[in-house]
Every structure is written in C-alpha cells, then in structure tokens.
C-alpha cells in the first residue's frame, strides 16, 4: 500500500513565461531521494476527483535543503496548466514518495547530459549533485526553441562560471541552429566516448540522441533515458496518508483530490528463472501467471521499477537464455527486443528455463 504525504508549498519560482518551479516546505530528510528521481502529485479534477501526474525533481538532494519540481505549461496539459494557474505559496498538495531509476550509479563518473525543453528538470538535479560531490567532467547539451525558452538559464551560467574546469554547457537553439540533427549529435557525442549519457526531452529528441550515441559507439549500458508518460490509473486511489511532513495551519484549506504481445504457443505452468542482480545470482520457481517484477519483489530482491505499467522502462532487464512474453510494451524499440531486453513488470515465462541479467 503506497503512502502519500501532504506538503505545503513554500514558494513558486517563475523560471520562464511557461515554466514554474514549485518548492515544498519540507526537509529532504523526511522525503529522501536520489538525483534524477520524480514526485507523483495529486491534481484535483471536477470530472473524476483527482488525477495523478509525475514531475521530475529539479532540486538536488546534495545542494538544496527543500524539494522542488519544475512544471512547464503545455497547450493541452490539464495538470500542468492547473499547477501554473493555481499553485502558490501556502497551497497544499498530496505527493507520493520519490521514485524512479533515472539516476547515476556514481556521481563521480564523467557525465554527458542531453536535455530538451522541460527535460532539463531531472538533468538539473543530476548536474548539481555531480558538481557538488564528484570530480568528473559534466557536459550538458540543452536544446530549446529560443533564448527565452531556456529554463534555469541564469543558474546554468552561474554553475559554469563556478566550475570552469568541470562543467561544459552547450546550448542548442532551434531559432539559430534548427532542430537537433542525429549526425550533429553523433559528432558531438564522439568527443566524449567514456562518459555515461543521460537523455530527457520530447520523444523525437530522445530517439535522435539515442541513435546518435549508439552510432558513436556508446554501449547500451551507458545510455539512460527518462521517458514522459501518463499513468493509466491513479495510484492515490489505494494510497494511505503518511505522518504529516509539515505542520499545517488549521485555518488553511487542504488541496482537493483529483496490447498485448501474446505468444500463440502453450506456455509452462511453472518455469525456473535464474536472475543476476547487483552481482549476485538467484534462482526461483516462476509461476506462469506471475510477472517477473512481482516475483522478484515477493522474494525480497531490490529490482528496479517505477510505473509497473510498461511505459517507463525503469524495470528493463536482459533475457540471456530462454524466452518470455510481454503483456504490454510501449517503450522498448525493436533494437532492444532483438538484443534480449524486456520489461520485468510485463514479462511472463514462455520456456521452462529463463535466465535474466540486470547487470
């Protein structure tokens, strides 16, 4: 049963004409998180009570004392428009605990960061954290329509000035250079072959950047993507409220509540799965009707996951022996499937023995 926290907004910062940072009045020790993770917010709705939307944390758990998410208004985005129009200091919002696996294993590594538009949000969290605690080089390629669209423009300039030997910021403006092209991104990436790459932005941008990195020789294990996707359900429907993280004033109003890839052949009633996770091997019986992620969680293994709906790829792993079938897959490309990558949250056994590698 997930828990939600009711947080009071300390301030709202206008980053650009259509982007706002919502800073919560809560100490990070109450809601610890890793750079690049996100918060799921409950947004009130007249039609269905509430809707849930995930927004990346732009704050750093290393440099910032309070949590902040940055939201960019979109033309047809109900939640983003509601936040930009209604949230102010003193507003109370329900949030689930921080989640997500778009985070470096080591902040000391050399990092090559790609962002477009509001995709800068988790990238900013990673960038600030790496500069504060690591010693590696950080290269940021940031694409926007024009200069006025650049979120965190002043902060990036200040960080680059403060870390001249470590941080390189390359702005890509559509008004000047046109849309980022794969060949240009490939040439740029080739200059940093040993860096770990992180990509966040609109799907066309991420697709072009991912292909550029692969063509430049980056292994799949060095390429990390954060995908924007709406949840199919509302996780707040089954959540319980945690202990208050901040004391609420009694006279203030509380926030309102708001494909199948089937296999034709017969599948075994139970299989055996051998899993390599964090350098350790584990072997379990795998019931035919139980999804792999559910099995691993049941066995107490810390398997990475996020949405559990097949839309984020946080639970991606590789099948090295045997076969599985996926109930739903909205993120893995054919190239991934050809190399054996699957989503653990959607995988059911198809052969009597399966080997899976997370490492």
pLDDT at residue 48, rounded to an integer: 84
Asked if pLDDT for residue 243 goes beyond 80, the answer is no
pLDDT tens by residue, 156-191: 999 999 999 899 999 999 999 999 999 999 999 999
**Cβ contact 66:26 at 8 Å:** yes
Assess whether pLDDT exceeds 80 at residue 149: yes
**Residues 6+ away with beta carbon under 8 Å from 57:** 33, 36, 37, 38, 39, 67, 68, 69, 98, 121, 122, 125
Q: Tell me the mean pLDDT in the region 264-278.
A: 79
- DSSP lists the bridge partners of residue 347 as 326
Q: Residue 104: what are its φ and ψ, rounded to 5°?
A: -65, 145
What are the structural domains, with CATH classification, of the chain?
A: 3-99 (2.40.30.10), 111-226 (3.40.50.80), 270-357 (3.10.20.30)
Question: Does residue 116 contact residue 142 with C-beta atoms inside 8 Å?
Answer: yes
With cut-offs at 50, 70 and 90, classify the pLDDT of residue 232.
low
- Percent pLDDT > 70 in the chain is 91
What is the predicted pLDDT for the residue at 249? 37
Among 134-143, 188-197, 219-228, 314-323, the least confident range: 219-228
**321 strand-pairing partners:** 355
**Rounded distance, CA 104 to CA 62, Å?**
14
Predicted confidence at residue 246, as pLDDT, reads 43
Mean pLDDT throughout 316-331? Answer: 92
pLDDT tens sequence across 37-54 = 999 999 998 888 899 999
Q: Which of 156-160, 254-258, 336-340 has the lowest mean pLDDT?
A: 254-258
Would strands 347-349 and 324-326 be described as parallel, antiparallel, or unpaired? antiparallel
In the predicted model, what is the mean pLDDT of the chain?
A: 89
Q: How confident is the model at residue 206 (pLDDT cuts 50, 70, 90)?
A: very high
Whether 230 contacts 53, CB under 8 Å: yes
Mean pLDDT of 320-335: 90
Tokens for 352, please give them: 């009597």
* Neighbouring C-beta atoms of residue 73, cutoff 10 Å: 17
Q: What is the average pLDDT across 70-92?
A: 94
Model confidence at 30, in pLDDT bands (50, 70, 90)?
confident
Mean pLDDT score, 260-275? 66
Q: What does the CA dihedral 84, 89, 94, 95 come to, rounded to 10 degrees?
A: 80
Q: What is the mean pLDDT of residues 109-138?
A: 97
- Residues 198 and 224: their CA atoms lie apart, in Å, by 5
Residue from 108, 110, 138, 134 nearest 123 by CA:
138
Structure tokens at 331: 């993120």
Point out the least confidently predicted range of 29-33, 74-78, 303-307.
303-307
Beta partners for 44? 50
Asked if the model's pLDDT at residue 256 lies above 50, the reply is no
Q: How many CB atoms within 10 Å of residue 67?
A: 26
27-36, 115-124, 248-257, 344-353: lowest mean pLDDT where?
248-257
Q: How far apart are CA 307 and CA 258, in angstroms?
A: 19
Rg (CA), the chain: 21
pLDDT of residue 3: 87
Judged against a pLDDT cut of 80, whether residue 6 lies above it is answered with yes
Residue 218 vs residues 97, 118, 166, 209: alpha-carbon distances, Å: 33, 25, 21, 11
């Amino acid at each position: 049963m997930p828990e939600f926290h009711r947080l009071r907004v300390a301030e709202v910062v206008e980053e650009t004409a259509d982007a706002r940072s919502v800073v919560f009045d809560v100490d990070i020790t109450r809601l610890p998180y890793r750079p690049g993770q996100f918060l799921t917010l409950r947004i009130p709705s007249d039609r269905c009570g509430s809707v849930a939307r995930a927004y990346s944390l732009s704050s750093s758990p290393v440099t910032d004392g309070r949590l902040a998410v940055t939201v960019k208004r979109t033309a047809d985005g109900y939640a983003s428009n509601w936040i930009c129009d209604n949230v102010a200091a003193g507003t109370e919002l329900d949030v689930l605990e921080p989640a997500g696996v778009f985070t470096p294993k080591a902040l000391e590594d050399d990092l090559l960061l790609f962002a477009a538009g509001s995709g800068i949000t988790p990238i900013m969290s990673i960038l600030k954290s790496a500069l504060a605690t690591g010693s590696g080089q950080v290269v940021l390629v940031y694409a926007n329509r024009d200069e006025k669209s650049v979120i965190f423009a002043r902060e990036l300039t200040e960080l680059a000035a403060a870390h001249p030997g470590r941080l390189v910021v390359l702005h890509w403006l559509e008004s000047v250079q046109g849309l980022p092209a794969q060949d240009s991104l490939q040439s740029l990436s080739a200059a940093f072959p040993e860096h770990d790459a992180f990509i966040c932005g609109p799907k066309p941008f991420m697709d072009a950047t991912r292909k550029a990195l692969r063509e430049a020789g980056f292994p799949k294990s060095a390429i990390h993507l954060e995908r924007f996707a709406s949840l199919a359900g509302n996780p707040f429907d089954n959540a319980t409220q945690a202990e208050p993280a901040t004391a609420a004033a009694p006279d203030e109003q509380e926030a309102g509540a708001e494909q199948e890839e089937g296999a034709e052949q017969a599948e075994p009633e139970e299989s055996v799965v051998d899993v390599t996770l964090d350098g350790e091997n584990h072997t379990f019986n795998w019931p035919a009707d139980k999804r792999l992620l559910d099995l691993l969680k049941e066995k107490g293994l810390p398997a990475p996951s996020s949405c559990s709906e097949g839309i984020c790829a946080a639970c991606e792993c590789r099948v090295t022996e045997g076969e599985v079938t996926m109930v739903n897959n909205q993120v893995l490309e054919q190239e991934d499937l050809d190399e054996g990558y699957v989503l653990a949250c959607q995988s059911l056994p198809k052969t009597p023995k399966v080997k899976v590698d997370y490492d």
